[in-house]
Amino acid sequence: MKLVRVSAAVLNQTPLDWNGNLAHILAAIRAAQDDGVSILCLPELCITGYGCEDAFQSPGLQRMAREVLLEIVPQARGLIVSLGLPIEYQHALFNTACLVADGRILGFVGKRFLAGDGIHYEPRWFKPWPAGRRGELDLAGRDYPLGDLHFDTGGVKIGFEICEDAWVANRPGADLARRGVDVILNPSASHFAFGKTELRHRFVLEGSRAFGVSYVYANLLGNEAGRAIYDGGALVASAGKLVAVGPRFSYADWHLTTAIIDIDATRMQQARMGSFEPRMDTAAEAAAIEAPFEFPRLQPAASSVQLAPWESGPHVKAEEFARAVGLALFDYLRKSRSNGFVVSASGGADSSAVACLVAIMVELGVGELGIDGFAKKLGHVAGLDEARTAADLVNRLLTCVYQSTKNSSQTTRDAAAGVARAIGAQFYEFDVENLVEEYIRIVSRAVGRELTWGRDDLALQNIQARARAPGVWMLANLHSALLLSTSNRSEAAVGYATMDGDTSGGLSPIAGIDKAYLREWLAWLQKEGPAGGHPIPALAAVNCQAPTAELRPAAAGQTDEADLMPYELLDAIERAAIRDKLTPLEVFQQMQPRFPRYAAVQLGEWVERFFRLWCRNQWKRERYAPSFHLDDENLDPKTWCRFPILSGGYERELAELRAYVKGLDAR
């Protein structure tokens, strides 16, 4: 047996944070050295950060990345380590992994397949490295091989699939296997999305089985650049078996996932595979980059792969939502150096969810780091070191304010206060009725008439929401805190939100989640809550309500679904229309069998209402505060779903829908 200790590191990096990124890289390297690791895989573009965007095109960034690489290399003695950075070569920029062995650079591997769909824009900055091509890179006066490379280090052959390389049909791993590679390293920056971890497990396991290799997958961790969340989840597989799995959603700066692999075992698996056809040529482009390396002798060790209990339970999506957004809020808070959060608490589902997610952030963070460790990572926030309990931390970091008008109810007032009290937040109540009335008087005098609900319904609703913004912004300014917007994805789809009112904020944590699921999640949080945390029974006062903006007089009986349509239907229409790109008629035809309880005429009106509101409100989506990416149904025009601000509004398609529904009604 030829046994090798390998490790995958997850790192919480930040774009352009040279010193912070360097510190995390060196800490992981030192821990690997102390643990006797021989091969260490670090995440994609870990030196610069993955989310540098157009800053990748700065010559200064290229220079600094090389300087930091050269600082790391001499400190990587005694092990083989991959380091990700952009490299400019022949006037083009490439996403590369640099392999270092025992403090010496061996070469740079270029990423073959670039992620250019959904949240990714890699082709904007990088060029794909062509298969089979090599070059020479001048770095600090020395030439190093660059391109489609693999390496022979002390008799162990190492190759790369860099993130997207493993997600395509013609993976480079197949050719690496034919070259006799023993270990494939996959440095990744794979963002979180619901259910995505199963896909990662699949390609890592299948890669190790089909290629007859050991496969080491490393990922980023945390909220790196503002919108994308990285869940970590390092993986090591060998010969089709998972031998090590790292934790997800950790609050640590870095984490190692280590395993012992048997090189001889994977070589014999290749020999037994009928489909395996080794490359027999000796062409220079197929030859490995050779370097001496002394692998220590190891004893076999039993491996035990165990997922966290919550990852295999019945509420995985609820747990993922709580943990992903909690970690994202924590990183956003500390990386923006804000002193806490402010939430305009309405007593409804959206603001209650946002406030509870801050409390979950504290609870899960303290559960992992301890109170002192949690406070230390937020060392810029004064007074946290005096906290003795998680509730003390919540009280210092979260302020909720209920802002009433004459249309507000005691029900929502009590619900807002009850949730804030249950999670330990500071709570204030502002009466903004005088502000609303004064705005109405000013405008009435200017236009020369009295404003009435019969004639001015929308304006009278919106001024209430907008009158709440200055006070809550002022609270945020007083605390140097971050104001959290409370709009959800269902509202964003149809513009059911007041710009500069309930959309006010510097961050919109739930804009990526639909209202129907949010209500389901709140019911789970009321009764169960995340593993390692606890339920919040006070949410019962929120969950029993029909969602309402409370902007019309109480006698109007205003509810969101009466204004729009049932949320379950709205969300289904949104997925069909926006995610699946169906026409209005196709959406209607898909909705009819799914929602047979609604008459065809009513259903047709709702489908038409959705498309009209969608087109009319793109300008609002363009102005939303940054939101977290949670799934492949995001409506954020800056990262996922682009749509023209001005358009024809589907007029011809909607006429087609009306004609079809009219025909049905005539039968």
Query: What CATH number does the domain containing 637 carry?
Result: 1.10.10
Co-location of 583 and 602 in the same domain: yes
Co-location of 446 and 336 in the same domain: yes
Would the pLDDT of 101 be above 70? Answer: yes
Domain boundary among 523, 555, 587: 555
pLDDT tens track for 13-65 = 999 999 999 999 999 999 999 999 999 999 999 999 999 999 999 999 999 99
Give the pLDDT confidence score for residue 284 in this predicted structure: 45
pLDDT tens track for 300-313 = 877 778 889 999 88
pLDDT tens track for 322-332 = 999 999 999 99
Co-location of 182 and 131 in the same domain: yes
Co-location of 97 and 229 in the same domain: yes
Segment 472-499 mean pLDDT: 96
Give the pLDDT confidence score for residue 504 in this predicted structure: 96
pLDDT tens track for 72-98 = 999 999 999 999 999 999 999 999 999
Co-location of 482 and 336 in the same domain: yes
Co-location of 100 and 249 in the same domain: yes
Q: How many domains does the chain have?
A: 3
Would the pLDDT of 594 be above 70? Answer: yes
How many distinct helices (H) and strands (E) make up the chain? 22, 21
Q: What is the DSSP string of 72-120?
A: HGGG-TTSEEEEEEEEEETTEEEEEEEEEETTEEEEEEEPSS---STT-
Give the pLDDT confidence score for residue 302 in this predicted structure: 75
151-153 and 156-160 as β-strands: parallel, antiparallel, unpaired? Answer: antiparallel
Co-location of 571 and 481 in the same domain: no
pLDDT tens track for 196-253 = 999 999 999 999 999 999 999 999 999 999 999 999 999 999 999 999 999 999 999 9
Query: What CATH number does the domain containing 472 carry?
Result: 3.40.50.620
Co-location of 252 and 326 in the same domain: no
Co-location of 36 and 138 in the same domain: yes
- Domain containing 538 equals 311-555
Give the pLDDT confidence score for residue 118 in this predicted structure: 85
Residue 258 lies in a domain: yes
| Among the listed residues 95, 101, 104, the one whose alpha carbon sits nearest the alpha carbon of residue 142 | 104
Q: By three-state DSSP, how is residue 348 classified?
A: coil
Give the pLDDT confidence score for residue 286 in this predicted structure: 64
Band of pLDDT at residue 153, cut at 50, 70 and 90: very high
**Rg of the chain over all Cα atoms, to the nearest angstrom:** 28
Segment 399-423 mean pLDDT: 97
pTM value?
Answer: 0.95
Give the pLDDT confidence score for residue 287 in this predicted structure: 83
CA distance linking residue 51 with residue 226, whole number of Å: 9
Co-location of 425 and 393 in the same domain: yes
Co-location of 487 and 572 in the same domain: no
Give the pLDDT confidence score for residue 366 in this predicted structure: 97
Give the pLDDT confidence score for residue 271 in this predicted structure: 77
Strand boundaries in 246-397, DSSP class E = 254-262, 289-291, 341-344
